Structure 1
Amino acid sequence: MTRLLICFALIVLGTDSFAQNSYFATKGTIHFEKVVYTKARMRELMAKHNGNRGMMYMGNIDEMPESSTSNFVLKFDQNQTLMQPEAEDTPSKSSAAKVVTTNGRSSGGTRGNMGSAQKNRGNNANSRFMRGNGKMGDKTYFQNIKSKTSEIQLQIDEKIIIKDSLQDVTWRFTDEFRTIAGYECRRVNGATKDSLYLIAFYTEEIPVSGGPVLTGGLPGMILGLVIPEMHINYWATEVEFTNDALSNSWKDKKAKEMTANDFFKLLSNTMFRGRGNNESLQRRQILEQVIY
């Protein structure tokens, strides 16, 4: 009997020791699929801007595909994340589209099988509100979680790096869970200081407070992100762990660095001309197009 009690105690102590020393990787790569519900997005943009000619889609919206898809790779370590478009020759790690509802309304429908021509049309339509400048969609996102700073590299007429602090999001936790890319994720609802509503799903199994397109501030990595107002979803499709640290080789040495305020001043009198005198609204619209 004494021998059985000793064995039982050793098993319990061994289990506690294993749980306390469980290893959660803090370096790796996450493949994300971005889904833009182009038709709904274009209709909302046109309604917002009251037919502003710079925002008009010169075609029949009813002939647009319902959605367009692109792929991104997010690399991370304990203190940083780096997100870039996935190389075109990399096989797509697509998963079934997910639908998240808010107050009974869906944030997006199920994707159909589209040919490459239709996908290109969707991507082109999604970028026409940038006055036809499709280069702006090819962006690199870097966030330093420790210093709470971010950098976005994009191209307008020249390459620009926008340096800013990480945006503050007020998160509210829910009791909803779902599995994304093999990880149990908890749903949280969030709002930026500009009142943009976000839905995120994060996992504590990856203890890095990051996520796609400069999101974070949660006790784990965000693997699902929904922006209902913009009809945009990001879903992780695969997670790979590595021992590789992030490098700064992504930066273009010729890129012009500026603050978010300087970037706002650069665009406020050009692309967003004719939107009225609401500077706060203009700033939000500009930064939304840049970030998401």
Structure 2
Amino acid sequence: MAQEVHFTSSGIIEFEKKSNIFALISKEINKDNEDWVAKPFEEYKKNNPQFKAAKSTLKFGNNKTLFTPLEDEEKRNNFFNTEMANQNSTIYTDFSTGMSTAQKAVFEQTFLLKDTTRKINWKITDETRDIAGYPCRRANAIVMDSIYVVAFYTDKILITGGPESFTGLPGMILQVALPHENVSWIATKVTETPIPENEIVPPKKGKTVNNQLFRETLNKALKDWGTWGHSYLKAFSL
């Protein structure tokens, strides 16, 4: 007798974002700042862990998702705070309409991005692995013109979402790695449970913009920041 295949349609996914802090900071050190950054960085490495972990949840159901970062105690009061390791976005996605609402904290200001979901040209491979109890298949892509993405998705969860704004595969994305950016997200637990509709709703606070206006605002604010500005731009745009 063939076993009936079970598909998960609603629940909560717990994600862990892991960042290689040493590698991220090393990329920001150059001839213009090494005189005052290099020595403190060596001291920092002696007293701090190489990797930082941050938690988040993804609620899903009724063809919608809500990605929510959990409070990050490590973010505060850190001279070597690198933005790529932080989590600044709460993201609601409605796959029935193809629209998303992303609340992004950028320095002292909060933006509310309302736009279509990101279009990612994925290339699915034959590599597989199990993640949080689900069989997953690998896919690769390039986003933001130059960022290489490795993702693993499962077709046993029907909604085509994922952490942050990574979507568009034929199932739920349970792992994302940006190898050249030294960060990754992986599902540590999937809880299958009904989610009330009022728990998957878009955030409402912030200055409303679309993606184009958001990028223009960031470019204007960070244009004189050099390599630091480029890394902030990538972090806020993911």
Q: Same fold (TM over 0.5)?
A: yes
**Equivalent position amino acid for 1:145 in 2:** F
| Match of residue 251 from structure 1 | 203
Contact 2:151–2:173 (CA under 8 A) maintained in structure 1: yes
Report the Cα offset of residue 242 of structure 1: 1.7
Structure 2 stretches lacking a partner, 5+ long: none
The runs of at least 4 aligned residues of structure 1 exceeding 6 Å deviation read none
- Answering whether residue 66 of structure 2 is matched by residue 120 of structure 1, we say no
The structure with the largest alpha-carbon Rg is: 1
Structure 1 pair 215–230 and aligned structure 2 pair: CA distance change class (3 A): same
| Match of residue 230 from structure 1 | 181
Structure 1: how far apart are the matches of 2:38 and 2:120? 32
Q: Output aligned runs, 1:95-106, within 5 Å.
A: none
Structure 1 pair 161–150 and aligned structure 2 pair: CA distance change class (3 A): same
3-state SS of the aligned residue for 1:290? helix
Which of the residues 137, 154, 170 maps onto 1:219? 170
- Answering whether residue 59 of structure 2 is matched by residue 59 of structure 1, we say no
**Equivalent position amino acid for 1:151 in 2:** T
Structure 1 stretches lacking a partner, 5+ long: 1-10, 89-118, 277-281
Q: Output aligned runs, 1:186-197, within 5 Å.
A: 186-192=137-143, 194-197=145-148
CA RMSD, aligned part only? 3.2
Which of the residues 134, 146, 162 maps onto 2:96? 146
Structure 2: how far apart are the matches of 1:51 and 1:229? 23
Structure 1 pair 238–125 and aligned structure 2 pair: CA distance change class (3 A): farther
Contact 1:68–1:123 (CA under 8 A) maintained in structure 2: no
| Match of residue 119 from structure 2 | 168
Q: Output aligned runs, 1:274-285, within 5 Å.
A: 275=226
More strand by percentage: 2
Q: CA-to-partner distance for each residue in 1:236-283, whole Å, 9 max, x for gaps?
A: 010011222443656244x2211122222222222332549xxxxx8x
Contact 2:19–2:183 (CA under 8 A) maintained in structure 1: yes
Structure 1: how far apart are the matches of 2:142 and 2:27? 20
Structure 2: how far apart are the matches of 1:121 and 1:225? 22
More helix by percentage: 1
3-state SS of the aligned residue for 1:60? helix
Report the Cα offset of residue 179 of structure 1: 1.0
Fraction of identical pairs, as percent: 28
3-state SS of the aligned residue for 1:70? strand
Structure 2: how far apart are the matches of 1:249 and 1:147? 14
Structure 1 pair 152–122 and aligned structure 2 pair: CA distance change class (3 A): same
3-state SS of the aligned residue for 1:169? coil
Larger RCO (CA within 8 A; separation ≥ 6): 2
Structure 1 pair 153–127 and aligned structure 2 pair: CA distance change class (3 A): farther
Report the Cα offset of residue 120 of structure 1: 2.8
Contact 2:15–2:188 (CA under 8 A) maintained in structure 1: yes
**Equivalent position amino acid for 2:74 in 1:** N
Report the Cα offset of residue 57 of structure 1: 8.2
Which of the residues 139, 153, 157 maps onto 2:108? 157
Structure 2: how far apart are the matches of 1:273 and 1:194? 21
Contact 1:28–1:75 (CA under 8 A) maintained in structure 2: yes
Report the Cα offset of residue 208 of structure 1: 1.2
| Match of residue 107 from structure 1 | none
3-state SS of the aligned residue for 2:222? coil
**Equivalent position amino acid for 1:236 in 2:** A
